[in-house]
Amino acid sequence: MSFDAEVADPRVVIGEGLTKRYGDGVAAVDALRGVSVSFDSGTLTAIMGPSGSGKSTLMHLLAGLDTPSSGEVWLGGTRLGELDEGGRTRLRRNRVGFVFQQFNLLPMLTVAENIMLPVRIAGREIHDEWLDWLLVAIGLEARREARPAELSGGEQQRVSLARALISRPAIVFADEPTGNLDSRGTEVILTMLRRAVDDLGQTIAIITHDPLAAARADRILYLQDGLIVQETGRMSPGAILDTVKTLR
Amino acid sequence: MTRAFTLRALILRRQRLAVAALVVAFGVATVSGVLVFTDTTRTDFQKLFAHSAGRAAVVISGRDGALVPGAVVRRVRRVPGVAVAVGEVSQSVTIVGPSGAVVPAARQASVAVSALPQRLSDVRVISGHQPRGLDQVAIDAQTARLEGWIVGSHVKLLTGQPLRSFRVVGIVTRALSGQRLVVFGLAAEQSLYGLGKSVDSILVAGRRTAAPGLIGRIRKLLPASVSAEPRASQVSAQVSQVSASFSSLNGGLEAFALIALLIGGLTIFNTFSITAAQRGNELAVLRALGATRGQIVSAGLIEGLFVGVAGAVLGVVLGPLFALTVHRIFEGTGVGLPAGGLVLRPSAIAIGLLVGIGVALVAAALPALRATRAAPIEALRVAAGERPRVGRVRLESALRGVLALALIGNGLLVMLLSSGSDAERLRRCGIGGALVLIGMLVAGPLVVSGVGSLLAHMPGARRRALRNAVPSLAREHLVLNPGRTALSGASLMIGVALALAIGVYVGGLRAASSRAINQTVLGDLAIEGSGGAAVPADVVRAATAVPDVAAILTRSPRCRSRGSTRPAGATSIALSGFRGPAHRSPTSSQVRCWSSQTPRGLTGSRRGRTSR
C-alpha cells in the first residue's frame, strides 16, 4: 500500500460538513446534521452515542456505503462524491474493511476462504504468507478449513477481523464488534483490534455502546442527535461512562 | 472468483439447489410431457388409419355408409390387374367372460371382423388357424390372456344373434386401434349379422404390373352407391377428418402446455425470489465487501444456469412419464386413443430444455438484479430485518389497482364477447384468460395487503393479539412482502385451477360425447351396452314389444347395418313415447345417416327429458 499521499497528510479518511436526511416533507428525518471528522493513520477511534444518534449513518457515509445529502468524504485521497456506484464499490473493496456485529461470514465457505473473500472479489493475487500470518494472529491457524457454524461467536468475529485486514485497507470500520460476544470473546477481539493498530499501523474506527471497548481507543467521539457533541482522548471505562451519563 | 464462489455456494447448498431444480423439472416435465403426448396422439392416429385398410391398394366402400352388394366382389375379381379382392365385414360384438360378465371394451367397442387373407390384413395369427365355418372364431391375444382362453376354448358372444357359444380356433394379434377383436369367417359373420351376401367394404390388391389405371377400371363396374378409393387417399381423408374432430383435444393440450409453462415459470421465479430473499444477507455482505452488481448478477445467472440445466434435463426425462400418465387419464375416461409407443420428437425435448433453462435464468437473474438495485446499505438494512416500505407505496397501489382492473375487465370482455368459429373463440378465450391472469397477478399484492388490514381490523383482533401473539405475527409476515405472498398464492391458485381445468375438460369430453348422442338420438330413453359393448338384437326386439314404446331407433357403429330388415346388434337404442320439442337439427354426416332410416317421431327433434 502506498503511503505517498498519507505521509504528508496523516488523515486517511476525512468527512466534511456531512448531513444525511431520510425521507422528505414532514416525514423527513435528519440523521446527521453537519459532522466534520477525520481519522489519522494508525489510530483507533471509538464512536459512541445513543441509538439513533447517527453513528451508523456516519460510518456508512465514511465507508462509501451511502451518499451524504450534503458534505464531502475523502477516502485515502479520493473524493467519494466524484465516484459513481461502481467506483465506490471498487474503492470500498480495495480501501475499506468491515467488521459487523453479526459477523456476516458466508456459511458455505471455510475460515480461510472467508478471510480471502475480499481479495478474491477484487480478483487480486492472494499472498499465502499474509493469510498464514493473519490466521496465526487470530489464533485459528488450526481451524482454517472449518466452517463458520463450527466456530464460537468470538472465533467467528476473529475470522471477520482477519477478513477486514486481508486487503490492508486504508481504514477498518467495526460496527458494534463486541455486541454479540461474551466478556471473554469481547476481551480477545478488543486486544486484537488494538494490536492491529499498534503492530500493523492499521487505522480503525469502532462504533460501540460499550465503555470497555471505547477505553481501548486513542480517541473517542460522542454523537448525539446527528452532531458530534464531544471529543476526548484516551479514557478509562469509568470516565467514559460518566461522560456518556452527562450527555444524556 | 465469482464463478468459484458460486459453484461452492451451489454445492454446499445442495438442498436449495435440489428444491429449485425439482421445481424446474416439474415445469419442464409438464411442458415436454404435453408436447410428447400431443405428438404421440397425432402419430398414433395417422398410423391407425394407415393400417386400418390393411395392405390393400384400393378400398371399395358404400357411399354414406351403405353396404356393398356381394355381387360387386365377384365383378371386381374379374377386373384385369386385380390379384385379390376380398369382402370385409366389421361389426360390434359383445364378449362374455367365463363368469358370465361382459368383458369390458378396451378403448373402443369390441369389434367382430371377417377373416382376411394375410396379404391384406394387419392382424396376424399367433397360434391355431383362421376360423372356418359357423361356430369358429379367432380372438385377440390380450383378451384371450385376460380371460384364460386358448385354442379349443369356448367363448360366448353376442352378435346379431342371441348369446351363443363359439369355439376358439385361433389366437390373433390385436389391431393397432387396441380394440378387442373377434374374427369370424366372412360367411359366418354375414349370416350372424343378417347381412346376406353384402359386405362393408372390399379390399383389393393389384398385380404389380397393372397398378396404373386399376382404380379406373374398377370404378367403371361399380353401382352408384359404391365408391372406390386408393388406400392412400382414403387414409389421408380419414386422418384429416379425425384431426379435425380432435383439434379441440390438441387445442386443449396446447392450452395445458401453456398453463404448465406459466405455472412452471411462476413457481421457479418464486423459488428463486425466496432464495434471493434468504440470501439477502449474503448478497449485502458481498456488496459491502466490494462485489459489483455485475458480479452478483452473474453469480445469480450461473446459479440459474446450473439449476436450469439440472432441472430441465430431469424434466425432459420425466416428461414422457407425464405423457404416459395423461394417456392413462384419457383412456380411463373412455376417450378412445389409439395404442402405440410414445413419440419423442426432438422439438418436444428442445422446447422443454429451452423453456426450463430460459425460465430458470430469468427467474434467477431478476431477483439478483433487484437485490443489487438497492444501495448496499439498503441491503444491509434489509438483511438486519425486512422493513415495510413507505413513501410511494400509495401511488404504486393506485396504479396497480387501475392496471389490474383494466386487465381483468378487458380480459373478461374479450372472453365473453368472443364470437366466430370454435377455434377463434378458443383462441380469444385463451387471450382473455391470460389477460385476467396477469391482472390478478398485478392485483395480488393489493389483495394481500387488503386481507392483512382486514384481519387486523376484525372485531376483537387487537384484544386477541394481546392474548396470543401468533396470529398477529402470522399476519405481519403475510403483509411484510405482499408481492412475494401474492406470487406464492398465485402459483397455488393456478395449480388448483389447472387441476380443475383438467377435470372440467375431461368431463367436458365425456359430456360432449353423450351430448352428441342426445342430439342425434331423439328418444326418451337410451339403452347402451356397458363400456361400449353392443346391445344384442333380442334386446331390441324385446324393447319393441314394450306397450308404451311408440318408436324405436337403433344405432350401430356403421349406419349401413340398419338397412337390413332384421335388427342387428346396436351400440345403443333410443325409445320414444312422445314427440320431443323441436330443437337444433343435427348436422353431422352420422346424423344424416341416422335420419334417413329413423322412424317418424324421432326425427328433427332432440331427445326430451326422460318422463317417469
Cell of B413: 370482455
Q: Which residues contact B77 (CB under 8 A, 6 or more apart)?
A: B85
CB proximity B286 to A under 8 Å: yes
Q: Does residue B597 carry a pLDDT above 70?
A: no
CB contact under 8 A, A89 and B292: yes
Share of chain B above pLDDT 70, in %: 60
Range among A11-25, B281-295, B556-570 with highest mean pLDDT value:
A11-25
Query: Which residue, among B516, B520, B526, has the nearest Cα to B606 in the 3D structure?
Result: B520
Q: How deeply is B435 buried, as exposed, middle or buried, from its count of CB atoms within 10 A (0-12, 13-18, 19+)? A: buried
- What pLDDT is attached to residue B1? 46
- Spell out where B313-439 has E strands: none
- What pLDDT is attached to residue B375? 59
Higher-scoring residue by pLDDT: B42, A9: A9
| B542: Cα within 13 Å, side-chain hemisphere | 8
Cell of B385: 430485518
CB contact under 8 A, A92 and B1: no
Least confident of A34-38, A51-55, B496-500, B555-559: B555-559
Instruction: Return d(Cα B265, Cα B494) in angstroms, integer.
Output: 11
Chain CA centroid to CA B202, Å: 33
Range among B20-24, B278-282, B480-484 with highest mean pLDDT value:
B20-24
Least confident of A7-16, B249-258, B489-498: B249-258
CB contact under 8 A, A118 and B290: yes
- Order the strands of the B82-88 sheet from edge to edge: B82-88, B201-206, B58-62, B226-230
- What pLDDT is attached to residue B516? 57
Residue pair B348/B319 in contact (Cβ under 8 Å)? The answer is: yes
CA distance B475 to chain A (A): 26
Range among A116-125, A163-172, B162-171 with highest mean pLDDT value:
A163-172
Q: What is the mean pLDDT of residues B322-329?
A: 76
Least confident of B249-253, B301-305, B369-373: B249-253
Q: What is the mean pLDDT of residues B217-242?
A: 74
Higher-scoring residue by pLDDT: B531, B589: B531
CA distance A123 to chain B (A): 6
Instruction: Return d(Cα B26, Cα B267) in angstroms, integer.
Output: 10
Residue pair B289/B38 in contact (Cβ under 8 Å)? The answer is: no
CB contact under 8 A, B390 and A27: yes
Residues in chain A within 8 Å Cβ distance of B290: 89-90, 92-94, 96, 118, 121-122
Of A96, A108, A163, the CB nearest to B12: A108
Q: What is the mean pLDDT of chain B?
A: 71
How open is the CA angle A41-A45-A47, to the nearest 5 degrees?
Answer: 145
Higher-scoring residue by pLDDT: A174, B14: A174
Instruction: Return d(Cα B326, Cα B324) in angstroms, integer.
Output: 5
Q: Does residue B342 carry a pLDDT above 90?
A: no
- What pLDDT is attached to residue B602? 38
- What pLDDT is attached to residue A69? 93
> ipTM score here?
0.82
- What pLDDT is attached to residue A46? 96
Share of chain B above pLDDT 90, in %: 2
Of B9, B282, B290, the CB nearest to A90: B290
CB contact under 8 A, B377 and A85: no
Q: Does residue B196 carry a pLDDT above 60?
A: yes
Residue pair B88/B237 in contact (Cβ under 8 Å)? The answer is: no
Instruction: Return d(Cα A234, Cα B260) in angstroms, integer.
Output: 68
Q: Does residue B303 carry a pLDDT above 60?
A: yes
Residue pair B550/B123 in contact (Cβ under 8 Å)? The answer is: no
Q: Does residue B541 carry a pLDDT above 80?
A: no
- What pLDDT is attached to residue A186? 93
In the block, which residue shows the cell 463458520?
A148
Quickly state the pLDDT bin for B36 (edges 50, 70, 90): confident
Higher-scoring residue by pLDDT: A90, B16: A90
Q: Does residue B426 carry a pLDDT above 90?
A: no
What is the full DSSP assignment across chain A? ---HHHHH--EEEEEEEEEEEES-GGG-EEEEEEEEEEEETT-EEEEE--TTSSHHHHHHHHTTSS--SEEEEEETTEEGGG--HHHHHHHHHHHEEEE-TT----TTS-HHHHHHHHHHHHT----HHHHHHHHHHTT-GGGTT--GGGS-HHHHHHHHHHHHHTT--SEEEEESTTTT--HHHHHHHHHHHHHHHHHH---EEEE-S-HHHHTTSSEEEEEETTEEEEEEES--HHHHHHHHHHH-
- What pLDDT is attached to residue B557? 45
Residues in chain A within 8 Å Cβ distance of B289: 92-93, 98, 117-118, 121, 163
Residue pair B58/B216 in contact (Cβ under 8 Å)? The answer is: no
Residue pair B184/B115 in contact (Cβ under 8 Å)? The answer is: yes
Range among A118-127, A153-162, B215-224, B527-536 with highest mean pLDDT value:
A153-162
Distances from the Cα of B392 to the Cα of B389, B431, B478, angstroms:
8, 32, 20
Residue B13 is classified by DSSP as T
CA distance A61 to chain B (A): 10
Q: Does residue B326 carry a pLDDT above 80?
A: no
Element (H, E) at B32: helix B14-52
Q: Does residue B600 carry a pLDDT above 50?
A: no
Query: Which residue, among A30, A98, A36, A115, has the nearest Cα to A64 in the 3D structure?
Result: A98
Instruction: Return d(Cα B294, Cα B307) in angstroms, integer.
Output: 20
In the block, which residue shows the cell 478488543?
A190
CB contact under 8 A, B384 and A102: yes
Each residue of A200-224: pLDDT tens digit? Answer: 999 999 999 899 999 999 999 999 9
Q: What is the mean pLDDT of residues B372-381?
A: 59
Give the best residue of B289, B372, B377, B392 to mutate against chain A (max A CB count within 10 A).
B289
Q: Does residue A234 carry a pLDDT above 90?
A: yes
CB proximity B525 to A under 8 Å: no
Instruction: Return d(Cα B80, Cα B77) in angstroms, integer.
Output: 8
Range among A45-54, B18-27, B265-274 with highest mean pLDDT value:
A45-54
CB contact under 8 A, B13 and A85: no
- What pLDDT is attached to residue A208? 92
Instruction: Return d(Cα B498, Cα B336) in angstroms, integer.
Output: 23
Q: Is A136 left (phi over 0), alpha (psi -120 to 50) or beta?
A: alpha
Instruction: Return d(Cα B406, Cα B438) in angstroms, integer.
Output: 11
Each residue of B282-300: pLDDT tens digit? Answer: 777 788 888 888 887 887 7
Chain CA centroid to CA A4, Å: 23
- What pLDDT is attached to residue A44? 96
Residue pair A164/A197 in contact (Cβ under 8 Å)? The answer is: no
Pairing of strands A219-224, A44-48: parallel
Least confident of B1-5, B144-148, B187-191: B1-5
- What pLDDT is attached to residue B456? 75
CB contact under 8 A, B290 and A121: yes
Range among A202-211, B409-418, B593-602 with highest mean pLDDT value:
A202-211
- What pLDDT is attached to residue A37? 95
Q: Does residue B407 carry a pLDDT above 80?
A: yes
Instruction: Return d(Cα B225, Cα B64) in angstroms, integer.
Output: 8
- What pLDDT is attached to residue B106? 66
Other C-beta atoms within 10 Å of B209: how many? Answer: 7
Q: Which residues contact A140 (CB under 8 A, 6 or more apart)?
A: A111, A146, A151, A155, A158, A159, A162
CB proximity B345 to A under 8 Å: no
Which sign does the torsion angle of CA B161, B162, B163, B164 carry? negative
Higher-scoring residue by pLDDT: B373, A176: A176
Q: Which residues contact B177 (CB under 8 A, 6 or more apart)?
A: B48, B52, B107, B108, B336, B338, B339
Instruction: Return d(Cα B92, Cα A1) in angstroms, integer.
Output: 94
Residues in chain B within 8 Å Cβ distance of A146: none
Higher-scoring residue by pLDDT: B293, B611: B293
Q: Does residue B221 carry a pLDDT above 60?
A: yes
In the block, which residue shows the cell 395449480?
B495
Element (H, E) at B552: strand B551-555
Q: What is the mean pLDDT of residues B332-349?
A: 65
* Residue B154, beta-bridge partner list: B167
In the block, which residue shows the cell 425435448?
B349
Q: What is the mean pLDDT of residues B32-58?
A: 69
| B554: Cα within 13 Å, side-chain hemisphere | 29
Give the SS3 label for residue B301.
helix
- Spell out where B385-534 has E strands: 525-528
Element (H, E) at B291: none
- What pLDDT is attached to residue B525? 67
CA distance B30 to chain A (A): 33
Instruction: Return d(Cα B290, Cα A87) in angstroms, integer.
Output: 10
Each residue of B444-456: pLDDT tens digit? Answer: 888 888 887 787 7
Other C-beta atoms within 10 Å of B444: how many? Answer: 22
Instruction: Return d(Cα A37, Cα A43) in angstroms, integer.
Output: 14
Quickly state the pLDDT bin for B393 (edges 50, 70, 90): low
Distances from the Cα of A125 to the Cα of A1, A54, A113, A119, A162, angstroms:
14, 37, 14, 7, 17
Q: What is the mean pLDDT of residues B570-574?
A: 48
Cell of A116: 480471502
CB contact under 8 A, A122 and B390: no
